[in-house]
Chains A and B, each alone.
Chain A
């Protein structure tokens, strides 16, 4: 705690002058960076459109109400597809993430080369958005739900495997040691010592990711990978704004329900 001696006596300061200067300097650098980025973005912005946004918004809002309720008849099937994409994609991801997590965890991996490979799979899967996965898959296997399921699956492997391998690294090593001491083989150590300890986490991760995937699968249709996004894309491009507002409401409802379900299930598990 720095205390300065001055004419009036001692003055307390929270920081020494050196740290205070360092903090000021880092603020300055931070603000400079943000300001520079802002300038570059604003250079590429047509400010006329931005200032005009208010009227645009009012115009759009007036065109969006009331939602075209009758369009709902068409939407039931896409909603069902959206849920299926999320669910099947999650199942697929979990099936693949489970072994990868064991290869990536420091305490269960066979060797460091395999671990590096597993970590690379995890990072690539996580870095690429499900929409981009969908973009590629639609190019390979054609548009449709299947591409959506695969896209969600590929995107979720990294997420699930990362959380799972962190859980595996945090298990109680003594329980595994005790199983090892009975003369158990490597595989038996996993099924008796490790898996029971991570099962609750695994269940939690599945529900958590399913909830996120519902959200993500609502937009996969924008690139042709099935689900309600297809209708959204079609309605926007035909300027059918009353349909768009209904679709947005349906997405909102689906997400709220899925969040409620996942909260309930997570509560029941833990």
Chain B
């Protein structure tokens, strides 16, 4: 269970990115965070694992108050939160395997990581995850040789090998084509349900959010303006989040998509990542 209470963030430039966000995310829930650019989506998830220090408020994971941790304890807490990034953020000049194993860095010492001597169980787990995301033969390739979708799968494996309780996902599909985007989203959701993981997914694409998430939170100018099920996203709500625009087409597209999607998902089940 992740609980955010009145999180505030003001950047040194004076921008007020978050204005008192409070949320409660039970275990195993996949939550999509939508909102226009600059609404504070990225800031919010970075405040949870403190890649960005919140100005005030608290974030609690289980019974750990994340916002008050010392540096050492923060490292230990970060192991419990896997993060998946926009544009993958793989270390491009390292091999796929090293990228996946880097998810274990919080568990091993400096020299072990220097000589790449990870425990055998970690290595085995890394291979299992690579197989799970369908990249077993790529283990020795360098990360910059992979396609966008493949890179994001490596990013997912890196987050999962941490054995997290929570996934923080920042725009996972922003630089992928529509089809790969869906595959990646589906993979993330499947893995979450397999492992009972909670996830916060920042996403631009309202369609994708509605398709995959069980709960939607709309953020505007650092404030929660919608919190509810995907089918509660009416044109009025979207206008509230994003501003005036013709939203009917977006909502219809989702309905049509669900049919087409069933077929595709069957294909993926046979051949794809599972």
Q: A residues bordering B, Cβ < 8 Å?
A: 172, 174-175, 177-185, 187-188, 191-193, 196-197, 199-200
A65 vs B97: C-alpha distance when bound (angstroms): 63
Residues of A within 8 A of B155 (CB): 178
CB of A183 within 8 A of CB of B106, answer yes
Which one, B79, B81, B82, B105, contacts A192 given CB within 8 A?
B105
Which one, A174, A184, A188, A191, contacts B89 given CB within 8 A?
A174
Q: How many A-B residue pairs have CB under 8 A?
A: 80
How distant is A98 from chain B, measured CB to nearest CB, in Å? 14
A180 vs B170: C-alpha distance when bound (angstroms): 15
Which one, B75, B92, B93, contacts A184 given CB within 8 A?
B75
Q: Could you tell me how many residues of chain B have their Cβ less than 8 Å away from some Cβ of chain A?
A: 32
Residues of A within 8 A of B89 (CB): 174-175, 177-178
CB of B90 within 8 A of CB of A182, answer no
CB of B78 within 8 A of CB of A175, answer no
Residues of A within 8 A of B103 (CB): 182
One digit per residue, 1 when the CB lies within 8 angstroms of any chain A CB and 0 when it does not, for chain B 90-116 equals 111110001000111111001001100
Which one, A174, A179, A187, contacts B87 given CB within 8 A?
A174
CB of A185 within 8 A of CB of B51, answer no
Residues of A within 8 A of B114 (CB): 191
8 contacts between A and B (CB under 8 A): A174-B85, A175-B91, A177-B89, A182-B102, A182-B106, A183-B76, A196-B91, A197-B93
CB of B158 within 8 A of CB of A182, answer yes
CB of B76 within 8 A of CB of A181, answer no
A197 vs B143: C-alpha distance when bound (angstroms): 12
A197 vs B91: C-alpha distance when bound (angstroms): 8
CB of B51 within 8 A of CB of A181, answer yes
Residues of B within 8 A of A174 (CB): 85, 87, 89
Q: With A174-B85, A178-B85, A182-B158 as given contacts, are A199 and B79 in contact (CB-CB < 8 Å)?
A: no
Which one, A177, A196, A200, contacts B94 given CB within 8 A?
A196
- Assess whether B83 is interfacial by the CB under 8 Å rule: yes
CB of B158 within 8 A of CB of A187, answer no
CB of A183 within 8 A of CB of B78, answer yes
Q: With A177-B51, A188-B113 as given contacts, are A182 and B91 in contact (CB-CB < 8 Å)?
A: no
